[in-house]
Structure 1
Amino acid sequence: MACEERCGYFMKEKNKFCHQLRAKGSDRCFYHISETSIAKMVCPMDPTHFVNPSNLNKHLKKCSKRRRVKAVYNVTGINSANLCDRKIVPKMSLADVSAVTTLRLIARLEELSTGQI
């Protein structure tokens, strides 16, 4: 038999009683009370659980999925090595580069290393 503070709903597929706390004035938890007695709606941030519409604003402030909502500055996969989105630059040998370009590159690297820029 289930504890007096716990929901009285027996889950046949799991062969056990629900472990959620009972709702006030009922022998069932919020999830197992019939839809006619208390209105429930799907959480807009996470459709895997239900929310009482009168407590929606309070729930949205503390919902665990709140942190996972994408912010404007978040870019998915920004640090991944996904080659599908990037243009592949062909590899070059140092022999393919002209001597003038190589000398410019060396001069530029020397400037950067001495901190003259």
Structure 2
Amino acid sequence: MNIQRPYLFLFKITLFALILSALPLHETILDSSPFWMLLLYTYYLIHFPVKGSLFIALILGVLLDILQGDILGQNALALIVASIFINNVKQSFYVSNLSTQQVYVFLSSSIYLAFFFLT
């Protein structure tokens, strides 16, 4: 993927994730919907060389906290810890098959959910 402006792409996917998170949907659909910000930020971390990824995760998490009305820092902490995990497995993510990549994303989502509920 050859994108000349990765921060513009980050802005676009952040806006898209915030819109998806703010949609008024039925309660059962909201309970089963994925963590949009985590999934799109994971995609961004995997496909682009990122400097300051933890700071970006902090900013995105605080934006998500403000949008959802959660405790300030709850999504930020969960997103930071999940992005640390993704950064640690980033090298093996490239050479893994699809099922292993799914396991990595599942583990990242589990870490996100665990830290979200622990705070």
> What TM-score, normalized by structure 1, do the two folds share?
0.18
Structure with a larger share of its residues in strand = 1
Q: Which has the larger radius of gyration?
A: 1
Which structure has more relative contact order (CA 8 Å, sep 6+)? It is: 2
Structure with a larger share of its residues in helix = 2
> What TM-score, normalized by structure 2, do the two folds share?
0.18
